[in-house]
Amino acid sequence: MKKELILCTSLPYPMGVKRTENGIRVCASFSQAKNCGIILYDDRNKRGKSVTFGEEHRYGNVFCAEIIGDTDKYKYYMLFEGKRVFCDPYARFILGLDKWGRNVDESDLFCRIDDPEYDWENDRRPATAYENSFVYTLHVRGYTKSPTSGIELHKRGTYKALMEKIDYIKSLGVTAVELMPTYEMSVLDESLKSRVNGGNMPEGSMSVQPDKNSKMVISDNGSFKKAESVRKKINFWGFKKGYYFAPRTAYSFYPDEADTEFKDMVKLFHKNGIEVIMQFYFDYDEKEDLISSAIRHWVFNYHIDGVHIKGNTNAPALISADPALSDIKIWYYGFDYGKLYGSKAPVKRTLGEFMTDYMYATRRFLKGDDNSIGDFLRVMLNNKPEA
């Protein structure tokens, strides 16, 4: 005999979906006050069980409830609002984006409910002081995709492949690897309306904001086409809005186990005395709660050692002021030290100003480029003690 699913009221926050002793707790934000809820799936097909929230579950634009009943069979979920089906922005794992370059509609994805248990053993963060740090920035896919990487073909471009390069990275004297965005996202972008990087991203990259209502006719390789018919382009670097709580499955050797593979990688880097810093790009209108919660999630659940923030100008101050994040490295283009510390020096120096001119001048000097010593001396003399 099937048990009916019962909705019980629950206090809002934390956001997201999580299994409880009694069932499944849901807390999500919607733009409308009616006809919204969650679809539960027992396997990866589209025959799910829809559960609609009532007014008694609403707190402003947030609906929160605990679903009690026969819920053990449900492994995946999606949110819905009217006819629109979409991913939970707080989902900790997304299935369906593991194929690089494949165009996937959001409604064809699945959010996973449960997190697998993980044994961190005796993992410890290296906590290397800035003055002893040598940072190596890399793109997870690009770093081992070439045959020159020495990695087997079927492993290239994955976290597992990066683990096989740790001995080489360590031999260089590296104390921290900085990973370009590795949170989940669709790699494809519309190429219609863009915002240039404004100094917050690598040269040539851009944050794409497609106008879905546009009726533009544009030129594509010399021929005029409707905007919606133009082929999407791959955003290789990944500086864009994404599913900030989920690991990138396209970078995993076993996509369904991307979270475990990422944790294995972090743990192995730590065993070799190397920190793991993650880059995050947040849009300028991103919600502060999501930003703060996402960074906490990666620090607490994935043991990362720091973050390099790009995009949103409020995010660095928000994260820097979080007492739970006071011992991780936080990088941005500048901080209001007076507001953060007052007249006292910090007990532990965790903030770092990212200066591109310093990076490029130092790189040229270390490579032995001609006429590089002057620029190197200039940036060294201009390097502030607190930066």
The rounded radius of gyration (Å) of the Cα atoms in the chain is 23
Question: According to CATH, what is the number of the domain 118-206+214-354?
Answer: 3.20.20.80
Q: Give the Cβ contact number of residue 226 at 10 Å.
A: 12
**Which of the pair, 131 or 280, is modelled with greater confidence?**
280
Phi, psi (rounded to 5 degrees) for 100? -65, 125
- Phi-psi sector, 334: left (phi>0), alpha (psi -120 to 50), beta: left
Residue-wise pLDDT for 192-233, tens only, equals 545 444 445 454 444 445 455 555 555 555 555 565 666 788
Q: How confident is the model at residue 316 (pLDDT cuts 50, 70, 90)?
A: very high
Read off the pLDDT of each residue in 171-197 and give the average, rounded to a whole number. 83
Are the CB atoms for 110 and 94 separated by under 8 Å? Answer: yes
Residue-wise pLDDT for 252-273, tens only, equals 999 999 999 999 999 999 999 9
Best CA proximity match to 62, nearest among 89, 31, 35: 31
With 90 as the cut, is the pLDDT of residue 363 above it? Answer: no
Percent with pLDDT over 90 in the chain:
72
The pLDDT of residue 385 is: 66
Cβ within 8 Å of residue 45, ≥6 positions away: none
Are the CB atoms for 284 and 173 separated by under 8 Å? Answer: no
Scored b (16 or more CB within 10 A) or e, 145-169 reads: beeebebeeebbbbbbbbbbbbeeb
What is the spatial distance between Cα 353 and Cα 362, in angstroms, rounded to a whole number? 15
SS3 sequence of 217-270: EEEECCEEEEHHHCCCEECCCCCCCCEEEEECHHHCCCHHHHHHHHHHHHHHHH
The structural domains of the chain, with segments of one domain joined by +, span 6-86, 118-206+214-354
Question: According to CATH, what is the number of the domain 6-86?
Answer: 2.60.40.10
**Which of the pair, 216 or 155, is modelled with greater confidence?**
155
Tokens, residue 354: 């990212």
What is the spatial distance between Cα 289 and Cα 292, in angstroms, rounded to a whole number? 5
H/E stretch holding 95: strand 94-95
> What type of residue is 184?
E
The pLDDT of residue 204 is: 40
H/E stretch holding 195: strand 194-196
Are the CB atoms for 234 and 187 separated by under 8 Å? Answer: yes
The pLDDT of residue 13 is: 87
Read off the pLDDT of each residue in 371-386 and give the average, rounded to a whole number. 84
Query: Model pTM?
Result: 0.88
Name beta bridge partners: 40. Answer: 49, 77
The pLDDT of residue 343 is: 78
